Structure 1
Amino acid sequence: MDAAVDASTPLYQRIAAQIEAAIASGAMRAGARLPSVRQLAQQHAVSISTAQQVYRCLENRGVAEARPKSGYFVAPRAPVLPEPLLDLRMEAPSLVNMDQVLQEFLWIVNDPLAVPSFHAQPARSLLPEAKLQALMAAVNRRHPEYASRCQMEGSAALRQEIARRAVGSGVTLRPDEIVVTNGGLEAVYLALRSVAAAGDTIALESPTYFHLLQVIESLGMRALEIPSHPRDGISLEALELATRESGAVKACVLLPNFPNPMGSLMPVERKRALVQLMAERRITLIESDIYGELYFGEQRPPVLKSFDPEADVILCSAFTKTVAPGYRIGWVAPGRHFLKTQALKFRTSVACPMVTQEVLAQFIADGGYEHHLRRLRAALKTQMHQMVDAVARHFPMGCRMSLPQGGMMLWIELPRHVDSREVFALARLEHIGVAPGAAFSTTRRFDHFIRLQYGEPFTAQTEAAIRRLGQIVERLAKNLPSTPLAREPDATLHV
């Protein structure tokens, strides 16, 4: 909207033009709260209906957005950085040997001063700790026996709720075909052991979650990294080429909905084609949907298993990224591999704590989980746009950035000669939580990438951290001395 409006312009449009001009000038940034309808009416001495017209006008222009029961906020701006390019180069399958940089990352991941956090999970302030604590006390009172015994098959109530919610992802599950696990990683571990053995080749998207690479390494399997697009996920063309030889690939492990670190979302038709391709080539598909509930759109994206008529897709998920990271509760629906997966679970970790399972079951059944997810998704969407906006403003030319449609990860491509190991080494000294791209692959193709997470509310400290990180990247891009930057008086990163 043009701020230069004359007196003949309707009053509500003139007020809207003033607000839009303030936003365009940078006085109010993406995600900032706007005055309430009542406050706006008082500030401009207009009626409530006129103030409402102002906000409707700003919404139509894409300048403001309404959030249920929260008010109006400055709408996110479109990113000025292009998305990362798809690298279609492929390397031969290889045994996994994780880089030392990953070990260094894992040593520092619990840094309490890091801003943003190294952990890819929601901030405590976004989790329903008080509600879960109250439910925990109630379950302990009703079932004191849970402290002295466990049920190997897991909580019937939790498995019932998992099956009920699975309908929303497009799949029908029976409670008795679900195996409760210690987090999502054990679910994938059990799935891999059920269908593959040491020496087998496992196809997976690249880049991929480093703990998944560690699981493959621990099982003595070979990893075949398939190029993936930062927006649409794994390249079906590359996967088709890599699996033409019968028996070359034993299984394929994918996160089609908002994976760590890219946050991509595979389109529905490509999901359908992927499942059909793997079925035709008799390659077991292991799907982790751990981030599937954290979508920013209108509808929950379907899982791959929803296109699986032969029950050969093994579906894994967990509650560790959505509601209770510390409970370490996950699950796997192994389909026709159920008996072997269940036996492996008994031999691996026997059972999962009943108390936490019952707490989650009650939380879901009461509607608390769905209410929590709505709030969490809204917060993550806002925080994503705020992080994207900050990176676009503070990083140097030549950088590229993903624009996730869900999840908690931002994948950033730096100028090719900038090594993410150096960025990580300098940033960690300043307590800036960045993950080096080198940790997400056994190849060297992502050495000039970094991952940021936006699971925490965006604050002035976050702004300062991203500004400082941009300065580090710019120095390395210009081949200036790689030394810690002097702190600016207004850029305090510590609590």
Structure 2
Amino acid sequence: MPSRPATRYQRLAQDLTLGIEKGEWSTGERLPSLRELCLTHAVSMATAKRALETLLDLGLVQVRAQSGFFVAAKPAEEKAKAQGPDLQQLHHQRERMLSLMQLAEQPLPVSLQMAGPATELLPTEAMARLLTRLLKRSPELLAESAPVAGVLGLREALCERFAALDVAAKPGDLLITQGASEALSLALRVLTQPGDKVLVESPVYFGLHQTLASLGLLPVELPCSAEGGLSPEAVDQALQDWPDVRCLVVTPNFQNPTGALMPDAAKRRLLKVAAAHDLPIIEDDIFGDLHFGPQRPRPLKAWDQQDRVLYCASVSKTLGPSFQIGWCLSARHAKALTGLKLSASLGGGGLMQRALAEFIRDGQYDAQIARLRHALAESSDRYLQALHRYFGTRLDVVAPSGGMLLWLSLPRQLDSVALLKLALQQGLAFSPGTVFSSQGRHRHCLRINIGRPFDAQVDQALSGLADLLD
């Protein structure tokens, strides 16, 4: 009896398998999206999806949430992967986040590559007492689901804090999210469609580039100066050159990775430019509370009279990774944002949101911010003193006025990924500059996290790093 001819999805699965075997896609590389497969192979979305699921069943690919299908490692490659991250993946945009996370999992003496405070700077004991008290009083909170928009008490507490920054907000305008990354992703999804152009700073947080890629968006990079951040005039010129740009993503307060603080006058000019071009703005203010001076800088949203700014932030940098609680504030887009979150992650658990609301209302959050700000300011001074001592004129760095990051510019001929490879042998990790651009720029730069308090071990690591330049 003749064999039944292969179906369309089986033929597509065979073609993809052959491509993997020929090396068209290497281990860890992302396969074409469902949309791309539909276009290039003239198949339906259902056919493309079933073909990829076939490869998944065969162990040839693996799925990464909101990123797509990636070529799975062979057993020998998995063994090598367990021994440490492949630094060459830092050159590939879609692999950067995973590579840096793997690097963070390595038992290194001095890990300065991720942006976060050390455990000893977090209010772990105070939060443990608060959670114990909440659960003793209401054990049913362990089974509570938060509303999609977030626990009302938390939204009210946050709106009170916004008012102190001259940001007018109502609880109904505010959406609680799973950290700042989800807030930024939802804001982008509200404003754009796949294939759209988005203005971004350069350098900029590598996670933003990964989010843009996963949404099929095209970044248009504009220089971000460590002295003053993004130039409103550069935005104006870019909008004349690319009138089809859909939105701007910007971090005016202590930008990641440069630490730049945009002056208030520049913030106002940026809003005027945006109004002239009818450009929506997504503001990331995740480091805004961590100022070293006496007064917290106001966000761009404080001058927004047209509800043009979608304001995003999180408490993960002040309370630690267990509090992946963020938000997106926008009266104009509140309904659309909530609808997208409903399809993405629902509301999550209510316990941590209620704990955060109480932590804010009883003054413990302000006390934690004050302690953390003091520690980071001291840390910044000590790191900078050591860097100038060991690197001398080979280093260009601007002292930040807040945040927890230092952006180091080294001699132009330097390759920071190659430098990282050597530094790892000495037990030091940092983030190479190339991961902060979709175009591979800033290869002679690197970012270090000063959220780890300066000590003799850090001092020795920075001295050893300087020696590698000789």
Provide the TM-score with structure 1 as the length reference. 0.74
Residue number in structure 2 paired with 1:113: 108
Offset from partner CA, 1:252-279 (integer Å, 9 cap, x none):
0011100211000000000001011112
Distance 2:409 2:320 in 1: 31
Q: Which residue of structure 2 aligns with residue 453 of structure 1? A: 449
Cα 1:276–1:458, aligned 2, differ >3 Å: closer, same or farther?
same
Supply the RMSD in Å over aligned alpha carbons: 1.6
Q: 2:133 aligns with which of 129, 135, 138?
A: 138
Shift of 1:151: 2.5
Shift of 1:461: 0.5
- In the superposition, relative to structure 1, how do residues 318 and 121 fare at CA in structure 2: closer, same or farther (>3 Å)? same
1:426 Cα deviation after fit: 1.1
* Equivalent AA in structure 2 for residue 293 of structure 1: D
CA distance in 2, matches of 1:233, 1:114: 33
Matches of 2:237 and 2:108 in 1, distance apart? Answer: 46
Structure 1 counterpart of 2:114, which letter? H
Amino acid in the other structure paired with 2:262: M
Deviation, 1:430, is: 2.0
Partner of 1:186: 182
Deviation at 1:362, TM superposition (A): 0.8
Match of 1:308 among 300, 304, 308: 304
Q: In structure 1, what is the equivalent of residue 215 of structure 2? A: 219
3-state SS in 1 of match to 2:283: strand
CA distance in 1, matches of 2:92, 2:270: 28
- Structure 2 CA distance for aligned equivalents of residues 179 and 100 of structure 1: 29
SS, match of residue 310 in structure 2: strand
Residue 326 to residue 410, structure 1, CA distance change in 2 (3 Å): same
Q: Which residue of 2 aligns with 1:342?
A: 338
Change (3 A) 1:238 1:97: farther
Instruction: Specify which of 128, 134, 146 is matched with residue 123 of structure 2.
Output: 128
Contact 1:110 1:119 in 2 (8 A): no
2:202 matches 1:209: no
CA deviation after TM superposition for structure 1 residue 204, in Å: 0.8
**CA–CA distance in 2 between the matches of 1:445 and 1:408?**
22
Task: Tell me the amino acid that sits aligned with residue 130 of structure 1.
Answer: E
Instruction: For 2:212 and 2:429, locate their aligned partners in 1 and report how far apart those are by CA, in whole Å.
Output: 26
Amino acid at match of 1:148: A
Determine the C-alpha separation between the residues in 2 that align with 1:386 and 1:263.
16
State the aligned residue count.
Answer: 379
Q: 1:323, CA displacement in angstroms? A: 1.5
396, 420, 424: which one aligns with 2:416: 420
Q: CA deviation at 1:141?
A: 2.2
How far off is 1:433 after superposition? 2.3
Deviation (angstroms), 1:142: 2.6
Match of 2:244 in 1: 248
For 1:450 and 1:288, locate their aligned partners in 2 and report how far apart those are by CA, in whole Å.
Answer: 21
Equivalent residues in 2 for 1:145-164 (5 A)? 145-152=140-147, 153-164=149-160
How far apart are the structure 1 equivalents of 2:204 and 2:154?
A: 29
- Deviation of the 1:218 alpha carbon: 0.2
Q: 1:445 to 1:118 in 2, by over 3 A?
A: closer
In the alignment, the residues of structure 2 paired with residue 343 and residue 119 of structure 1 have an alpha-carbon distance, to the nearest angstrom, of 32
Displacement of 1:102 in angstroms is 5.6
Give the Å deviation of 1:434: 1.0
Name the aligned partner's letter for residue 271 of structure 1. Answer: K
The question of 1:357 aligning with 2:353 is answered yes
Q: Indicate whether 1:411 and 2:371 are aligned.
A: no
Query: In the alignment, what sits opposite 1:233?
Result: 229
Task: Rate the CA distance shift 1:198–1:410 in 2: closer, same or farther, 3 A.
Answer: same
Deviation of 1:133 after TM superposition, in Å, equals 0.6
* Mapping for residues 376-415 of structure 1, pairs under 5 Å: 376-415=372-411
CA spacing shift, 1:116–1:109, aligned 2, 3 Å: closer
**What is the CA deviation profile of residues 402-422 of structure 1, one whole-angstrom value per residue up to 9, with x for unaligned ones?**
210100000000100011111
- The alignment status of 1:196 with 2:189, answered yes or no, reads no
Identity score, percent: 35
Q: Could you list the per-position Cα deviations for residues 214-268 of structure 1 after superposition, in whole angstroms to 9, with x for gaps in the alignment?
A: 0000000000011111110012222111101574210000111002110000000
Q: Can you give the 5+ residue segments of structure 2 that lack an aligned partner in the other structure? A: 1-90
**Greater share of residues in helix:** 2
Q: Structure 1 residues 102, 424: closer, same or farther in 2, change over 3 A?
A: farther
Q: CA deviation at 1:148?
A: 2.3
Task: State whether structure 2 residue 287 is matched by structure 1 residue 276.
Answer: no
CA spacing shift, 1:331–1:189, aligned 2, 3 Å? same
Check whether the contact 1:396–1:470 (CA below 8 A) recurs between aligned residues: no
C-alpha separation in 2, matches of 1:266 and 1:326: 30
Aligned to 1:61: none
The residue aligned with 1:71 is: none
Distance 1:246 1:231, change over 3 A: closer
The answer to whether the Cα contact below 8 Å between 1:285 and 1:312 also exists between their aligned partners in 2 is: yes
Deviation at 1:396, TM superposition (A): 4.8
* Whole-angstrom distance in 2 between the partners of 1:228 and 1:452: 17
Among 326, 330, 340, the residue aligned to 1:330: 326
Q: What's the counterpart of residue 265 of structure 1?
A: 261
Q: Secondary structure at the match of 2:110?
A: coil
Q: Distance in 1 between matches of 2:281 and 2:92?
A: 24
Rounded Cα–Cα distance in structure 1 between residues aligned with 2:455 and 2:278 = 49
- Deviation (angstroms), 1:103: 4.6
The correspondence of residues 62-77 of structure 1 with structure 2, limited to 5 A, is none
Give the AA of the match of 1:127. L
